[in-house]
Chains A and B, each alone.
Chain A
Amino acid sequence: MAAAMPLALLVLLLLGPGGWCLAEPPRDSLREELVITPLPSGDVAATFQFRTRWDSELQREGVSHYRLFPKALGQLISKYSLRELHLSFTQGFWRTRYWGPPFLQAPSVWINLGRSSVMSSQGSSAPLSTSSTPPTQSLPLPPSNPWVWPMTLTTTFCAMLCCRGRWSAPKTSPPGRSSCPVVPRASLISFHLLQAGLSVLLKADRLFHTSYHSQAVHIRPVCRNARCTSISWELRQTLSVVFDAFITGQGKKDWSLFRMFSRTLTEPCPLASESRVYVDITTYNQDNETLEVHPPPTTTYQDVILGTRKTYAIYDLLDTAMINNSRNLNIQLKWKRPPENEAPPVPFLHAQRYVSGYGLQKGELSTLLYNTHPYRAFPVLLLDTVPWYLRLYVHTLTITSKGKENKPSYIHYQPAQDRLQPHLLEMLIQLPANSVTKVSIQFERALLKWTEYTPDPNHGFYVSPSVLSALVPSMVAAKPVDWEESPLFNSLFPVSDGSNYFVRLYTEPLLVNLPTPDFSMPYNVICLTCTVVAVCYGSFYNLLTRTFHIEEPRTGGLAKRLANLIRRARGVPPL
């Protein structure tokens, strides 16, 4: 089982030949961080983040010596003049209503490859966006070829990335950028870990007993100084998992590192310049005595995250006092008084999507958008990519809030082309305060060519989730922060201004059954063919074995013809 275990490019190449080139000051650095957050429903989310930063102009210089930065990715950047790369693999679905807004802005589709049970119910989705420079002559492959990126990335990440049809670009995204919002059914087989520092905790069998699992790679250039005269390359590798409190904690909401990961922290990573664990100890009521962490933290950190004020306890692994006493750090959290679990706070924006109707001819895609803010309305950008084999009827698009029609302020629709590109529907919708908005559109299920059905046609076809982007009003004003100094996880929550925060949500993927011929019955085909052949054979045999004579109509003798000539001349009907 372990060989087939489908984890984790994670920390793909953390292991570098470190240590033997310390003569010159290192131009690259590694920071690692773990954030543990109890979720409103009682589950616990753990987010790992490893950031490698390299002060090197990868695109210009012929770089050949790599230390911390993975060589495979570096070569990818220099070969294709890559500007940015974001790739994430997700298993499971972030349940916004119960878990609050997602931390990583990662889409959440999963795929079921094995789909049988326990470990083999695997699959991931890969939302992917790459940006490249405008095409030049020197590029080995024209970037307009939509298959270049998936192919290259496939080999790098040992993942299967395939997109039906062409990659599409939403109108709201900048030009020169190709993206495939979600690739359903991508699979990922790779495993390479350095067992030191925080990555000690990455034990596969525990990570795969979680409710949610998402890993991502982000590469981007960052400015080295304020005037941006030179750039550095930043590689962020993240993993976030959600532990099911019900299974892990037997119904209790207390947790410890050992109970979740079945490991404890023993030493800092020798290569890391920063190695920290942040634990969210925010209490929702005024009383501070509701929870207790052990060991007591040395420092705490306060910030405004997703519109609410949060307090974090900080454990610095490089602080020698933290680990050296027992060579063992097992952070525990105990609730003194169990928080009322009856009504977990509902986030201001959440959504639900489903297919309505029954039968194999028609159907309706419905998306419910909930705005639970008591008094503020806010706009949402809804992006839908629907495969061409669901033929959308755009005139049936209806948007209703509170029983009234809701006119979107902006609509962009790009119709599908059969077998080439999917439907693309973008809308900017104003969600009234404290309301449910229903967006529905009817479709007809197309009959595919028989070679176009998947090997398991009766499983159904996936429709990728719709993507919601919104500026949600926040409870507390946030002040701008210095990115370099603040913890890494802050970069997961972009703040646009003091009164709003940005949220991107992904709804559920859908499974739609198309009209499917009965492939399992070759018998039927044989019967039909035999019948047709028999019917045709009988008639053709009949036709071929008969002799035909053409019987000339009797024309009469010469006398009759003469008589008729005379009669015609007289105007009398012929004999």
Chain B
Amino acid sequence: MGLLSDPVRRRALARLVLRLNAPLCVLSYVAGIAWFLALVFPPLTQRTYMSENAMGSTMVEEQFAGGDRARAFARDFAAHRKKSGALPVAWLERTMRSVGLEVYTQSFSRKLPFPDETHERYMVSGTNVYGILRAPRAASTESLVLTVPCGSDSTNSQAVGLLLALAAHFRGQIYWAKDIVFLVTEHDLLGTEAWLEAYHDVNVTGMQSSPLQGRAGAIQAAVALELSSDVVTSLDVAVEGLNGQLPNLDLLNLFQTFCQKGGLLCTLQGKLQPEDWTSLDGPLQGLQTLLLMVLRQASGRPHGSHGLFLRYRVEALTLRGINSFRQYKYDLVAVGKALEGMFRKLNHLLERLHQSFFLYLLPGLSRFVSIGLYMPAVGFLLLGVGLASLVAPLLISQAMGLALYVLPVLGQHVATQHFPVAEAEAVVLTLLAIYAAGLALPHNTHRVVSTQAPDRGWMALKLVALIYLALQLGCIALTNFSLGFLLATTMVPTAALAKPHGPRTLYAALLVLTSPAATLLGSLFLWRELQEAPLSLAEGWQLFLAALAQGVLEHHTYGALLFPLLSLGLYPCWLLFWNVLFWK
């Protein structure tokens, strides 16, 4: 059909685009950033609403009154835990059975690829305990999950107490139409991953675990609970899951409606909700929350054990009890009532949660930005790249990326033999060494290339690199908007600028500053800045090293995709631009 359009007019358009290339690039970049900033203002951010009719009203009468029971369970749990030094499996089994559940255990073990220094673990073995409440006159085809991840320290015992008290209360009711699984996992997320893999009878991450004896059909929704004190001042909700997946927005709406009903104070990203969206203050506060969410989602880490459920298409979120210095506090009964209300509403679900949004950004609990509104921001940024046949540099860059992906974990033993470092340090340092070694590439590639490459070969290389970058960023932005946006913000301008003439040192400095690793470092500083706990340089560096190690570790333990994405995709692409810059 293109044949039939007027070629003269088309040529004129192309000429216009070519002539105004540079201003258009700048304009679209600025437009992209401006659009993103504008997302927090009311016409673009909308009020959340419940889409699922089955959960429409909050007309359930919460009857949970087991606050004392929950505290007693929590005390017992903490005492038994201190005594045994691990999860008191026998006590949990006995207690769950005494409240009338069908109780099963699952043992698992996992050898991490290298020692995890943040959590101080390497060879992990533990036991998960779960009890199933069977719905009367139902055939166990559907279920809901309430889970409490227990780490190595003795936090979260109040959550276990509340879980048991809720189980005891739920068991006495006759209205359940779905089975309810009460799950207590050891080694927080590792245990959850082991349980989920065993429940779905798959092995994604190389976990060794015993098969599950009892199942309860297809899991419809899950809530993870983290409480470390008898009273809370607020409940913080975490939605960001593995690889930036988000639960259906209706689940969050459900939580919010029950918070409002019970008068509970809720926070998102640890931030209170702005009251007034019409003045400037509200949106600015919203922007802070939104940026925190973008950073967290871009990290691709599961922020709470709910994040691992999302891979199995189980809508899930984590509730964290926060106990700060605020005057007014809520006890466990209030939290328990909110949970009871949520479970009763989820029990009413006729279908899986599917009505509301799966792709959204949250500037506040009661406001959201839908995918149709945030995609233009990244679209504008990528337009800059779009406006703006050399095999060897491509291959070498890819090989470098592969080395970055494989060598650090494989070579940790060699590194520890020759240098006085621990395994985890060795991995991180090798990572950085290979990363830095990539900077020396142009020198080497030119030995291979220079003979046959034409003079203007850098243009072809830059073209390929730009297309490659645009495709990658486009794909990332589709699945994980936050990560795509962050990377586009930093990489696009310098990628467009890179050429072998002009102020090369300035370009080189800019390019290094916007490389993926530098973006990560910058994000860490921004993160702490937004949390109002700024970092010093040395702290920032330490945090940076820890984040690198965590990134690699989470790829191996939960299958997080950020590390392979950066090392196999974006780093080689960035190296291409580096090559362009130092073209002879």
> Which of B33-41, B74-82, B131-139, B280-288 is the interface stretch?
B131-139
A residues within 8 A CB of B139?
Answer: 92-93, 108-110, 508-509
> Which of B169-177, B223-231, B299-307, B506-514 is the interface stretch?
B169-177
Interface residues in B163-211 by Cβ distance below 8 A to A read 171-172, 174-177, 200-202
Task: Flag if B137 contacts A210 (CB, 8 Å).
Answer: yes
A residues within 8 A CB of B54?
Answer: 116
Task: Flag if B202 contacts A121 (CB, 8 Å).
Answer: no
Query: Interface digits, B316-336 against A, CB 8 Å rule (1 contact, 0 not)?
Result: 000000000000000000000
The docked-state distance in angstroms from the alpha carbon of A462 to that of B139 is 11
B541 at interface by CB-CB < 8 Å: no
Task: Flag if B4 contacts A543 (CB, 8 Å).
Answer: yes
A residues within 8 A CB of B213?
Answer: 352
B355 at interface by CB-CB < 8 Å: yes
Task: Flag if A356 contacts B201 (CB, 8 Å).
Answer: yes
The docked-state distance in angstroms from the alpha carbon of A457 to that of B311 is 20
> Which of A151-159, A243-251, A318-326, A330-338 is the interface stretch?
A243-251
Q: Decide if the interface of chain B is mainly helix, strand, loop or mixed.
A: loop
Q: Which of A112, A213, A247, A512 has the most CB of B within 10 A?
A: A112
The docked-state distance in angstroms from the alpha carbon of A216 to that of B566 is 63
B residues within 8 A CB of A520?
Answer: 354-355
A115 at interface by CB-CB < 8 Å: yes
Task: Flag if A244 contacts B136 (CB, 8 Å).
Answer: yes
CB distance from B267 to the nearest CB of A (A): 31
A residues within 8 A CB of B348?
Answer: 116-117
A91 at interface by CB-CB < 8 Å: yes
Task: Flag if A460 contacts B350 (CB, 8 Å).
Answer: no
B141 at interface by CB-CB < 8 Å: yes
Task: Flag if A542 contacts B137 (CB, 8 Å).
Answer: no
Q: Which of A98, A116, A208, A543 has the most CB of B within 10 A?
A: A116
Task: Flag if A513 contacts B175 (CB, 8 Å).
Answer: no
B residues within 8 A CB of A210?
Answer: 136-137
Query: Interface digits, A202-230 against B, CB 8 Å rule (1 contact, 0 not)?
Result: 00000011111100000000000000000
Whether A539 contacts B1 in the complex (CB less than 8 A), given A92-B139, A110-B138, A358-B313, comes out as yes
A421 at interface by CB-CB < 8 Å: no
The docked-state distance in angstroms from the alpha carbon of A128 to that of B396 is 68
A118 at interface by CB-CB < 8 Å: yes
- Chain A residue with minimal CB distance to B93? A342
Task: Flag if B218 contacts A513 (CB, 8 Å).
Answer: yes
A377 at interface by CB-CB < 8 Å: no
The docked-state distance in angstroms from the alpha carbon of A112 to that of B349 is 11
Task: Flag if A247 contacts B5 (CB, 8 Å).
Answer: no
Task: Flag if B217 contacts A511 (CB, 8 Å).
Answer: yes
B351 at interface by CB-CB < 8 Å: yes
Task: Flag if A117 contacts B218 (CB, 8 Å).
Answer: no
Task: Flag if A112 contacts B218 (CB, 8 Å).
Answer: no
**Which of B140, B200, B347 is A356 in contact with, Cβ under 8 Å?**
B200
Interface residues in B133-171 by Cβ distance below 8 A to A read 134-142, 171
The docked-state distance in angstroms from the alpha carbon of A339 to that of B581 is 82
Interface residues in A18-75 by Cβ distance below 8 A to B read none
B100 at interface by CB-CB < 8 Å: yes
CB distance from A463 to the nearest CB of B (A): 10
B62 at interface by CB-CB < 8 Å: no
Task: Flag if B312 contacts A358 (CB, 8 Å).
Answer: yes
The docked-state distance in angstroms from the alpha carbon of A512 to that of B311 is 16
Task: Flag if A460 contacts B4 (CB, 8 Å).
Answer: no
Task: Flag if A542 contacts B1 (CB, 8 Å).
Answer: yes
Task: Flag if A358 contacts B142 (CB, 8 Å).
Answer: no
A13 at interface by CB-CB < 8 Å: no
B352 at interface by CB-CB < 8 Å: yes
Q: Decide if the interface of chain A is mainly helix, strand, loop or mixed.
A: loop
- Chain B residue with minimal CB distance to A359? B313
Task: Flag if B202 contacts A508 (CB, 8 Å).
Answer: no
CB distance from A368 to the nearest CB of B (A): 8
A459 at interface by CB-CB < 8 Å: yes
**Which of B134, B214, B311 is A211 in contact with, Cβ under 8 Å?**
B134
The docked-state distance in angstroms from the alpha carbon of A509 to that of B139 is 7
A456 at interface by CB-CB < 8 Å: yes
CB distance from B484 to the nearest CB of A (A): 22
B215 at interface by CB-CB < 8 Å: yes
Interface residue tally for chain A (C-beta within 8 Å): 54
- Chain A residue with minimal CB distance to B54? A116
B102 at interface by CB-CB < 8 Å: yes
Query: Interface digits, B1-14 against A, CB 8 Å rule (1 contact, 0 not)?
Result: 10011000000000
Task: Flag if B138 contacts A459 (CB, 8 Å).
Answer: no
**Which of A98, A109, A342, A457 is B102 in contact with, Cβ under 8 Å?**
A98
A residues within 8 A CB of B313?
Answer: 358-359, 513
CB distance from B249 to the nearest CB of A (A): 14
Task: Flag if A511 contacts B201 (CB, 8 Å).
Answer: no
**Which of B1, B141, B215 is A462 in contact with, Cβ under 8 Å?**
B141
Task: Flag if A251 contacts B100 (CB, 8 Å).
Answer: yes
CB distance from A206 to the nearest CB of B (A): 11
CB distance from A215 to the nearest CB of B (A): 12
Task: Flag if A508 contacts B177 (CB, 8 Å).
Answer: no
**Which of A112, A251, A460, A462 is B138 in contact with, Cβ under 8 Å?**
A112
**Which of B102, B172, B175, B215 is A354 in contact with, Cβ under 8 Å?**
B215
A364 at interface by CB-CB < 8 Å: yes
CB distance from A531 to the nearest CB of B (A): 15
Whether A546 contacts B215 in the complex (CB less than 8 A), given A115-B350, A211-B136, A459-B350, comes out as no
CB distance from B430 to the nearest CB of A (A): 34
CB distance from B291 to the nearest CB of A (A): 30
The docked-state distance in angstroms from the alpha carbon of A207 to that of B141 is 22
- Chain B residue with minimal CB distance to A542? B4
The docked-state distance in angstroms from the alpha carbon of A360 to that of B200 is 13
**Which of A117, A358, A510, A543 is B217 in contact with, Cβ under 8 Å?**
A510
Task: Flag if B141 contacts A458 (CB, 8 Å).
Answer: no
A355 at interface by CB-CB < 8 Å: yes
Task: Flag if B311 contacts A355 (CB, 8 Å).
Answer: no
Whether A209 contacts B201 in the complex (CB less than 8 A), given A247-B172, A509-B141, comes out as no
Task: Flag if B177 contacts A513 (CB, 8 Å).
Answer: no
Task: Flag if B137 contacts A546 (CB, 8 Å).
Answer: no
Task: Flag if B137 contacts A511 (CB, 8 Å).
Answer: no
Task: Flag if B172 contacts A117 (CB, 8 Å).
Answer: no
The docked-state distance in angstroms from the alpha carbon of A116 to that of B178 is 10
Q: Which of B141, B214, B217 has the most CB of A within 10 A?
A: B141
Whether A208 contacts B137 in the complex (CB less than 8 A), given A116-B54, A460-B218, comes out as yes
CB distance from B389 to the nearest CB of A (A): 32
Whether A510 contacts B141 in the complex (CB less than 8 A), given A92-B136, A209-B174, comes out as yes
Q: Which of B174, B176, B213, B311 has the most CB of A within 10 A?
A: B174
The docked-state distance in angstroms from the alpha carbon of A354 to that of B214 is 10
A residues within 8 A CB of B136?
Answer: 92, 209-212, 244
- Chain A residue with minimal CB distance to B215? A354
A residues within 8 A CB of B142?
Answer: 511
B residues within 8 A CB of A359?
Answer: 313
B residues within 8 A CB of A364?
Answer: 201
CB distance from A26 to the nearest CB of B (A): 38
The docked-state distance in angstroms from the alpha carbon of A352 to that of B215 is 8
B residues within 8 A CB of A176?
Answer: none
Whether A539 contacts B4 in the complex (CB less than 8 A), given A112-B177, A460-B352, comes out as yes
**Which of A115, A212, A246, A357 is B177 in contact with, Cβ under 8 Å?**
A115
The docked-state distance in angstroms from the alpha carbon of A30 to that of B269 is 71
Task: Flag if A456 contacts B140 (CB, 8 Å).
Answer: no
**Which of B175, B214, B354 is A117 in contact with, Cβ under 8 Å?**
B175
In the A-B complex, the 6 residue pairs with the closest CB atoms = A356-B201, A458-B351, A93-B139, A92-B137, A246-B100, A539-B1
Add 8 more A-B contacts to A95-B134, A121-B137, A539-B1 (CB < 8 A): A98-B102, A116-B348, A210-B137, A211-B137, A246-B171, A358-B202, A513-B218, A513-B352
| Interface positions of B (Cβ within 8 A of A) | 1, 4-5, 54, 97, 100, 102, 134-142, 171-172, 174-177, 200-202, 213-215, 217-218, 311-313, 344, 347-348, 350-352, 354-355
> Mind listing 8 A-B residue pairs with CB under 8 Å?
A95-B134, A112-B138, A117-B348, A211-B136, A352-B215, A356-B200, A356-B202, A357-B200
